[in-house]
Amino acid sequence: MLLVIDVGNTNIVLGIYSQKSLVQDWRIPTYRKNTVGELHLTLNQLFQTSGIQLSQIDQIVIACVVPSVAKHLVSFCEKHVKASVFWINTATQSFMPNLCVPASDLGADRLVNALGAHHLHPNEDLIVIDFGTATTFDVISAKGEYKGGVIAPGIQISSEALSRKAARLPRVELFVIPEKIVGTNTVACMQSGIIYGYAAMVEGMIGRIAQELGVMSRVIATGGFAALLAKTCSVISAVHPTLTLEGLRCVAELVWPKP
């Protein structure tokens, strides 16, 4: 079995693959201060509730953008797992042509998103939007080239900054789509500004990218807020909640090709 791990700033997403089938996946908060023992306990509990043993894992692929967590994962793999481990590192590995200069500027999570999207939609010009801690736009050509992208503040960060910096504005529920754009109370006004304002930003950015490149691309969304924004953004054509995991699986196929 293959274990894939994507360590983000907010969440750690894990998946178990048997051949090409995702048989189990989990999302847990990223705790930077967890010890190796705590990490082992958490993973063991996840595996046991799913009827999977660590001893069944043959291969592990990891993408990590949080250095403090990476250290614990290295120790965990060395102490508790007898499996081949591969770390995504854009400075030394290239699984698709990467036009970033320097190549290491492309985060591991964005690389595997691009790889997964190109695998799912080959021979198409693509834009992948990952609605995570940051909102990233990644442009992939029909040839499978990573052409570049955009990084914007994430929707949750924007919402929290608004309530933190404005003394009389409360924190609001983000997974609510307002019935009207023009709100009639503070909460409704904030929800409209955050949800519809963010949707307008996404639509405007996609339009500007298309104008700059002269190409209309298929737009794929992933990340925690993808399903929500897909309901309000006319430009999003598909939502792939496990896109990063699929990209990590593709990396495993490249690293350990089947005969």
Q: Which helix (DSSP H) or strand (DSSP E) does residue 61 occupy? A: strand 59-64
Both tokens assigned to 165: 């910096």
Which DSSP symbol is given to 49?
Answer: H
Residue range 113-118: mean pLDDT, rounded: 95
CB 206 within 8 A of CB 216: no
Q: What is the Cα–Cα distance from 126 to 235, expressed in whole angstroms?
A: 12
Which is higher by pLDDT, 129 or 162?
129
At 176 the pLDDT is 85
DSSP letter at 224 equals: T
In this prediction the pTM is: 0.89
Residue 93 has pLDDT above 80, yes or no: no
Is the distance from CB of 131 to CB of 199 less than 8 angstroms? no
Question: If we measure between CA atoms, which residue out of 87, 134, 94, 86 comes closest to residue 114?
Answer: 94
Three-class secondary structure of residue 74 per DSSP: helix
pLDDT tens digit sequence for 192-244: 999 999 999 999 999 999 999 999 999 999 998 999 999 999 999 999 999 99
Three-state DSSP class for 238? strand
Share in percent of the chain as helix, strand, coil (round to 5): 40, 25, 35
Catalytic residues: 109
Band (pLDDT 50/70/90 cuts) for residue 114 is very high
User: pLDDT tens, 26-63?
Assistant: 998 887 777 778 888 888 888 888 888 888 899 999 99
E strand or H helix at 4, and its extent? strand 2-7
Q: Please report the pLDDT score of residue 50 as a whole number.
A: 87
∠ CA 185-188-190, nearest 5°, is 105
Looking at residue 90, its pLDDT comes to 67
Q: Is the dihedral of CA 157, 160, 165, 169 positive or negative?
A: positive
The dihedral sign for the CA sequence 214, 225, 32, 71: negative
pLDDT band at 258 (very low <50, low <70, confident <90, very high): confident
What pLDDT shows up at residue 91? 61
> Which domains are seen in the chain, by residue range?
2-87 (3.30.420.40), 123-241 (3.30.420.40)
Task: Report how far residue 126's alpha carbon sits from residue 121's, in angstroms, rounded to the nearest whole number.
Answer: 8
- Sheet containing 134-140: order of strands: 146-153, 134-140, 126-131, 218-222, 238-239
Q: 222 - beta bridge partners? A: 130
